[in-house]
């Protein structure tokens, strides 16, 4: 039995499929309404491939009006709805509901406006992240957040997850880089959140819906901020013979008042997998490597690189290689950005953890992860947004072996709970989805969860949007809490146990 079996993804009574298809057929062209088993199969999972569910129907609307119509029908019929962008999410957020509609945004894929002077682009949610920068580069502008999945993932999915990337230490996450969002509730109400200025009237609902994982409504249009392409960017590949030294180098760089454009770390296992896959030229004997990028004006970068080299040398770097040209720079990044698929080639499945920790705890946490790896007898490679304390341990296993899957889940849970214990969070950028639903009970107490449910209710009174994901019910936590103790007390003492 795995996580998904324990989650009531379908909380609704049985839905009459034929009736639903007939109603949706009145507002959608045939090509946008899939309901045969073989058509539905491709939508059964997202980037967390170990878990699958086939939706009742898949709707692929071509216009915002169709989105509104679909939601109104689902609301009236009491049908659950799960939104899907490109399906690259790593926490199971887009896994369908078997008794509901999967609403895919992939056909809403147009760039509607680029305003070079005011430096923004207005786009539909299905536009791929990288397509925005491609379309705006001729103006010397780009969209800064760059998840490693950027060639595939959608900007709507990025907003729904508050995605980050390797440059977000300096440039921020999705939430820092959007100006305005068109947002539709389950009742079909269209809301404009944010503005063309830098703030808007009322509560900061744009921040609230960013990272809300499709639980509050659907994003149908996004105005993203564009930033000027730096005059120049330089990257150094630095090798260390211990993780501790690499961690110290990271802290010393930040303490020196430098905020590099990117500061990434990979351990030996990750480096080996990547080298095998893309031949990025990484040293194979290093215990840890750092990728440190500086961008800005020519003078700025020159100075910053000098300081960085000095600091890493002092921290015990065994090799410093500065990319000599753009091609080499791209190659260095290519290695890092291919880390997940590279690891995916070693064994058929991986669970990608996403905990965040205070940076100073890095060496301690990595040691613990290595202990867990022995305990659960599974391999684990570590890639790490080191600058902002976001770890991605990749637990490798074969999901066709139930025991391995079970051990992988337990290994993952142990890592996340460790992150909370050292003062961090269970997820920095991949979201909770179904994957980390139990660990939400470790990070939050009853009162916080009640507040989350109250907020959800204000948007989605009947709980039709992405049911069972992201925010656990109090009952679920009570059940889970029987095994766990939080902040020294038993959690959810007043909820009956099952």
Partner 1 sequence: MDLNLKKIKDTISNAQKNKQALRIVGGDTKNFFGNKAELPLLSTSKFEGIVDYEPSELVITAKAGTKIVQVEELLRQNNQILAFEPPIFGFDSTLGGCIASGFSGPRRAYAGSARDFVLGIKMLNNVGEELQFGGQVMKNVAGYDVSRLMTGSFGTLGLILEVSLKVLPRPEHELTLTYELDEKDAINKINVWAGKALPLSGSCFIGSTLSVRLSGNTSAVNAAKQIMGGEINEDTTFWHKLRNQELEFFNKNSDLWRISLKSTTVPLELGPTLIEWNGALRWLYPNCTSDIIFEKAKKAGGHAMIFRSKIGNLTGQQQVAGDLLKLHEKLKHAMDPDNLFNPFRIHRSY
State which residue, 89 or 230, has the beta carbon closest to ligand FAD. 89
Residue 229 site contact among partner 1, ligand FAD, none (CB < 5 to 8 Å, cut-off depends on kind): partner 1
Q: Within 13 Å and on the Cβ side, how many CA atoms surround 257?
A: 2
Site for partner 1 in 41-100 (CB under 8 A): none
CA–CA separation, 468 and 48 (whole Å): 16
Q: Which does 444 bind (CB under 5 to 8 A by kind): partner 1, ligand FAD, none?
A: partner 1
Pattern of binders to ligand FAD over 299-338, x per CB under 6 A?
Answer: ----------------------------------------
Tokens read off for 444: 């939050």
The Cα 47–Cα 119 span in angstroms is: 32
Q: Nearest approach, Cβ of 292 to ligand FAD (angstroms)?
A: 17
Residue 257 binds what, of partner 1, ligand FAD, none (CB under 5 to 8 Å, by partner type)?
partner 1
Q: Interface with partner 1 by CB under 8 A: which range of 3-11, 327-335, 404-412, 441-449?
A: 441-449
Q: Are 277 and 339 in contact (CB under 8 A)?
A: no
- Residue 10 or 317 having the CB closest to ligand FAD: 10
Q: Is residue 481 a contact residue for ligand FAD (CB under 6 A)?
A: no
Among residues 3, 32, 66, 84, the one that binds ligand FAD under rule CB under 6 A? 84
Q: How far apart are CA 62 and CA 293, in angstroms?
A: 40
DSSP states along 233-282: EEEEEEEES-HHHHHHHHHHHHHTT---SEEEEEEHHHHHHHHHHH----
β-pair partners for 224: 121, 178
Q: Does 431 bind partner 1 (CB under 8 A)?
A: yes
- Residue 165 binds what, of ligand FAD, partner 1, none (CB under 5 to 8 Å, by partner type)? ligand FAD
Nearer to partner 1, 111 or 227 (CB): 227
Binding mask 167-206 for partner 1 (x = CB under 8 A): -xx--xx-xx---x----x---xxxxx-xxxxxxxxxxx-
Q: Which is nearer to ligand FAD, 161 or 304 (CB)?
A: 161
E strand or H helix at 156, and its extent?
helix 155-161
| Residue 368, helix vs strand vs coil | helix
Query: Helix (H, G, I), strand (E, B), or coil: what is residue 185?
Result: coil
Q: Contact 292/321 with Cβ under 8 angstroms?
A: no
User: Whole-angstrom Cα distance, residue 395 to residue 216?
Assistant: 31
- Does residue number 425 form part of the binding site for partner 1 (CB under 8 A)? yes
Minimum Å distance from CB 43 to ligand FAD?
Answer: 10
What part of residues 240-299 is at the interface with partner 1 (CB under 8 A)?
A: 251-252, 254-255, 257-259, 296-299
Which of 18, 30, 31, 117 binds partner 1 (CB under 8 A)? It is 117
Residue from 66, 69, 75, 83 that binds ligand FAD (CB under 6 A)? 83
List the one residue from 35, 119, 368, 410 that touches partner 1 (CB under 8 A): 119
Q: Angle at Cα 282 formed by Cα 167 and Cα 349, nearest 5°? A: 75
What mask of x and - would describe binding to partner 1 in positions 454 to 493, judged by CB under 8 A?
xxxxxx----------xx----------------------
DSSP E strands in 124-258: the ranges are 141-142, 178-184, 190-194, 218-225, 227-228, 232-240
CA 62 to chain centre: 25
* CB 128 within 8 Å of CB 139: no
118 or 284, CB closer to partner 1? Answer: 118
Query: Is 402 in contact with 392 (CB distance < 8 Å)?
Result: no
Which residue from 66, 158, 356, 373 is in contact with partner 1, where contact means CB under 8 A? 356
- Describe the strand order of the beta sheet including 178-184 as a list of residue ranges: 111-115, 120-123, 218-225, 178-184, 190-194
Subset of 125-184 contacting ligand FAD (CB under 6 A):
125, 147-149, 153-154, 156-158, 160-161, 163-165
Closest approach of partner 1 to the CB of residue 240, in Å = 18
Alpha carbon of 393 to those of 27, 76, 165, 378: distances in Å? 44, 43, 16, 12
- Residue 13, class by beta-carbon neighbours within 10 Å (0-12 exposed, 13-18 middle, 19+ buried)? exposed
- Name the residues that contact ligand FAD, by CB under 6 A: 46-47, 82-90, 93-94, 105, 125, 147-149, 153-154, 156-158, 160-161, 163-165, 213-214, 218-219, 340-341, 429-430, 466
């Amino acid at each position: 039995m795995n996580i998904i079996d324990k989650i009531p993804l379908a909380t609704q009574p049985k839905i009459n499929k034929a009736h639903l298809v007939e109603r949706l057929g009145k507002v959608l062209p045939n090509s946008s309404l899939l309901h045969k088993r073989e058509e539905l199969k491709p939508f059964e999972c997202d980037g967390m491939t170990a878990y699958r569910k086939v939706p009742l129907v898949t709707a692929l609307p071509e216009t915002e009006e169709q989105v509104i119509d679909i939601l109104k029908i689902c609301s009236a019929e009491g049908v659950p709805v799960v939104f899907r962008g490109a399906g690259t999410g790593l926490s199971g957020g887009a896994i369908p509901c078997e008794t509901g509609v999967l609403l895919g945004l992939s056909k809403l894929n147009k760039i509607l406006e680029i305003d070079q002077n005011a430096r923004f682009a207005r786009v539909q949610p299905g536009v791929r992240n990288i397509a925005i920068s491609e379309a705006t580069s001729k103006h010397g502008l780009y969209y800064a957040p760059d998840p490693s999945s950027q060639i595939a993932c959608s900007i709507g999915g990025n907003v729904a997850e508050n995605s980050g990337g390797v440059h977000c230490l300096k440039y921020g996450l999705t939430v820092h880089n959007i100006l305005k969002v068109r947002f539709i509730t389950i009742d079909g109400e269209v809301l404009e959140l944010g503005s063309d200025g830098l703030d808007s009237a009322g509560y900061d609902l744009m921040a609230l819906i960013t990272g809300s994982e499709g639980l509050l409504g659907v994003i149908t249009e996004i105005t993203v901020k564009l930033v000027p392409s730096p005059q120049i960017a330089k990257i150094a590949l630095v090798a260390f013979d211990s993780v501790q030294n690499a961690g110290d180098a990271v802290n010393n760089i930040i303490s020196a008042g430098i905020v590099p454009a990117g500061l990434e770390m990979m351990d030996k296992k990750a480096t080996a997998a990547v080298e095998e896959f893309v031949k990025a030229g990484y040293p194979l004997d290093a215990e840890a490597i750092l990728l440190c990028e500086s961008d800005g004006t020519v003078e700025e970068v020159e100075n910053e690189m000098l300081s960085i080299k000095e600091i890493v040398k002092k921290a015990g770097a065994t090799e410093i290689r500065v990319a000599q040209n753009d091609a080499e720079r791209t190659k260095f990044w290519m290695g890092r950005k291919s880390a997940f698929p590279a690891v995916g080639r070693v064994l058929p499945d991986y669970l990608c953890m996403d905990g965040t920790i205070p940076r100073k705890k890095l060496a301690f946490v990595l040691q613990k992860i290595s202990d867990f790896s022995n305990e659960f007898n599974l391999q684990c490679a570590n890639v790490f947004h080191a600058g902002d304390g976001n770890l991605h341990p990749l637990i490798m296993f074969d999901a066709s072996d139930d025991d391995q899957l079970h051990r992988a889940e337990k290994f993952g849970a142990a890592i996340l709970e460790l992150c909370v214990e050292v003062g961090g969070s269970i997820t920095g950028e991949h979201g909770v989805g179904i994957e980390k639903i139990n660990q939400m009970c470790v990070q939050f107490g009853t009162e916080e969860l009640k507040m989350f449910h109250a907020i959800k209710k204000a948007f989605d009174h009947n709980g039709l949007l992405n049911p069972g994901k992201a925010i656990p019910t109090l009952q679920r936590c009570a059940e889970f809490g029987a095994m766990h103790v939080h902040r020294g007390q038993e959690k959810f003492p007043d909820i009956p146990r099952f």
